[in-house]
Amino acid sequence: MPQLVKGGKYVFGWAGLKKDGLIRMPDKAFEEYKFEMTEKIILMSGSKASGGFSINRLHGILGSKIGQQIIDSIGYLRESRSFKTQRSEIIEVGDRLICWTILDEKKIICLSNELIDSLGLKIGSKLLVVRGSGLGPAFIARGPIYEEALKHDDLPAY
């Protein structure tokens, strides 16, 4: 996994937003963050500077500082391991958009049209997958890291 500039973030590669809102997680990101097939995951909108979103394991969110607020907002029921909200139902928490979805057996998630629009993305968008927080990878849509990555033809694409 390369660093584009000395001291910069590590990148996993490019992920394209395909028709029907499908986007594939790079294998190395899947392994590094210990995701599981058919796992329910939390998707959070990215920063204003980078855009895009991050994908986070529910287990990791539960142990984080902001975890309880996120879990409460999407209506996670620990006893039944289910949600009060629907899959891909967008909830605003502060300046972030949050929802849950499922990572399928092919390491693919499906973004609803509403979520794609809310994130300022479109079918065909090319997102740079970078090492994010300890909770999960970030799929960024713009910013200095993104611009630097455009100069590197050797990054894998998914």
pLDDT of residue 16: 97
pLDDT of residue 72: 78
Using CB atoms within 10 A of its CB, is residue 31 exposed (0-12), middle (13-18) or buried (19+)? exposed
The DSSP element (H or E) to which 140 belongs, if any, is: strand 138-140
Listed as own residue / partner, the contacts of 66-69 with beta carbons closer than 8 Å and 24 or more positions apart are 69/93
| Whether the Cβ atoms of residue 3 and residue 155 lie closer than 8 Å to each other | no
pLDDT of residue 79: 67
pLDDT of residue 51: 96
pLDDT of residue 85: 85
pLDDT of residue 125: 96
Q: How far does the chain reach from its first CA to its final CA, in angstroms?
A: 14
d(CA 113, CA 121): 10
pLDDT of residue 49: 92
pLDDT of residue 124: 96
pLDDT of residue 113: 95
Q: Which residues of 79-113 are buried (b: 16+ CB within 10 A; e: fewer)?
A: eeeebebeebbbeeeeebbbbbbebeeebbbbbbe
Residues of the chain with pLDDT below 70 are 1-3, 7, 78-80
pTM: 0.90
pLDDT of residue 3: 67
Domains of the chain: 11-149 (3.40.1550)
